Amino acid sequence: MPGKGAKRPEPEVPEEAPPPPPPEANSEALEFLATISEEEIPLLYFSETLNMISETNQILGEYSLDIKQAYYYSSDGDTKRSVLVHATSRGQLEEIPCGTSISGYLDWDLKTYQQHHHEFIKFLPLSVDKKTTLLKQNADMLMTRILKEGEVTKTEKTSFNLNVMDGFISESANLLLLRVMGWRRKVPQNAKFLAFDGEGKLCHSTYVRERCSLGEALGFQTIQLGSEQAEVLVVEQTMHSNEDIPMTWQYYLLPDGHLAKRIQVGSPFCCIITKMPIMREEDEFDPKPVFEKKQLEWEEDVQLFAIFRDRKEELQASHTTYMQHHPEAQTLISDFLLFLLLRQPSNVVTFAAEYFGPFARGLDKPPPFRSSNRPSPFRNPCSLSVPYNPLEKIPEKSSEEKTEDSSS
């Protein structure tokens, strides 16, 4: 036994287990998102409306979805061309008003800039109103959840680093992703995306064409839409929450991405269209015509040759009239050509610049007596070492220099 003054050993406190790592999207999901192009998204811009039908074929409400191009104005002042997804559902379940609305701005690769999600059930005396906002800010995704039950309001704010959200699909991005699958008639196999469950936690979201648990094939089916039959692609989405039971939806998609039917497993109603919509098809453009270049034989064309002859005569008359009114021009040009042939300079451009330089109005008048070795803005200073004398006899060129001049 320990002595009277000895301390009793403190009981060991078990260490808390570290939190599990956040879920991650697999490579199949990321590769599918990478294949979505900016040219493909505009093909999915349209609106649609479905009726909410009970199990007894009673109309309970209406579900509408509209996807279009828009501009997103971020908090830092940038304006980005984006995709606006807006979905609403309003109805009554057992005479209890309820509804949901989703509005989100997306990038072309289905990344979410901002989203507002609102759900309500007006059940007296305790109504429920739930609002969830997602906002991309710098390198984080900010989530704000406001839950109002009766008169009690709870607000919860959470931040997620975007590095752990690759492959995240929000509710608005999910609606656009389903249209992509319907348009392509293809579902990514074994793909695991990321999504938020009902408690605002990250979890996996999968899309399949057949139920693995029951072995029931979904895939392509033929359904009756009013007086017409249509082949639809059935996609089953399951949200695998870590804290709640999985939630499953079935979407019946027409070839152009229209939603023909939506079923939430376990729900007492479904959404369905009553008649066949106008199907959208990809625009086909005719190839650009190619015209072979033909040589213009204008001399053989009577009309073109007449135009050329008239224009030639008009210019000749205009030039002759001008020279008659300005005889000094002929004198000036003749004097320059005579001086050029006398001097025969190697650099004709510099010689002409020096000859016509004194005629410039911006230059100062030259002095009456000046050196023949005067500085010139058109010559290299090193070339002025020899005095310039216009009356100096020109030395004859050697045979080699004549050969170089003829070759140049």
Dump pLDDT digits (tens) for 143-185.
999 999 888 999 999 999 999 999 999 999 999 999 999 999 9
Single-letter amino acid, residue 238: T
Q: In percent, how much of the chain has pLDDT > 70? A: 81
Q: Which of 53, 75, 195 is nearest to 135 (CA)?
A: 75
Give the type of residue at 261. K
Residue-wise pLDDT for 269-298, tens only, equals 899 998 888 877 766 667 778 878 778 787
Q: What percent of the chain has pLDDT over 90?
A: 49
Nearest to 67 by CA among 113, 35, 103: 103
- What's the predicted TM-score (pTM) here? 0.66
Instruction: Give the model confidence (pLDDT) of 195-234 as tens digits.
Output: 999 889 999 999 998 654 444 556 788 888 878 888 999 9
Which range (56-70, 194-208, 209-223, 253-267) has the least confidence? 209-223
Whole-angstrom CA distances from 385 to 344, 367, 379, 395 are: 20, 21, 11, 18
Q: Report d(CA 398, CA 403) in Å as an integer.
A: 9
* Tokens coding 155: 């607000």
- What is the structure's pLDDT at 322? 93
Q: Which residues contact 127 (CB under 8 A, 6 or more apart)?
A: 120, 121, 149, 150
Residue 393 token pair: 């006899």
Binning pLDDT at 50, 70 and 90, where does residue 31 land? very high
From residue 184, alpha-carbon distances to 36, 44, 181, 333, 394 in Å are 11, 11, 5, 77, 86
Nearest to 280 by CA among 37, 45, 41: 45
Q: If you average pLDDT over every residue of the chain, what do you get?
A: 84
Region 80-93 average pLDDT: 92
Asked if 28 and 237 count as a contact pair (C-beta separation under 8 A), the reply is no
The residue that leads in pLDDT, 381 or 358, is: 358
**Pair type for strands 59-73 and 202-208:** unpaired
Query: CA nearest 110: which of 191, 217, 54, 23?
Result: 191
pLDDT of res. 243: 83
Q: Say how many CA atoms lie within 13 Å of 298 toward its Cβ.
A: 6
DSSP states along 367-403: PSS--TT---TTS-GGGGSSPP-TTSPPPPPPHHHHH
pLDDT confidence bin for 8, thresholds 50/70/90: low
User: Which residue did the predictor score with more confidence, 69 or 210?
Assistant: 69
Instruction: Choose among 155, 158, 181, 157: nearest CA to 169.
Output: 181
What pLDDT does 56 receive? 87
Split at pLDDT 50, 70, 90, the class of 78 is: confident
pLDDT value of residue 55: 86
Query: Could you read off the pLDDT of 300-337 as tens digits, one per residue?
Result: 888 988 999 999 999 999 999 999 999 999 898 999 99
- The larger pLDDT score, comparing residue 82 to residue 242, is at 82
Could you tell me whether strands 269-272 and 79-93 are parallel, antiparallel, or unpaired per DSSP bridges? Answer: unpaired
- Return the pLDDT at 386: 46
Cα angle 130, 136, 137 (rounded to 5 degrees) comes to 120
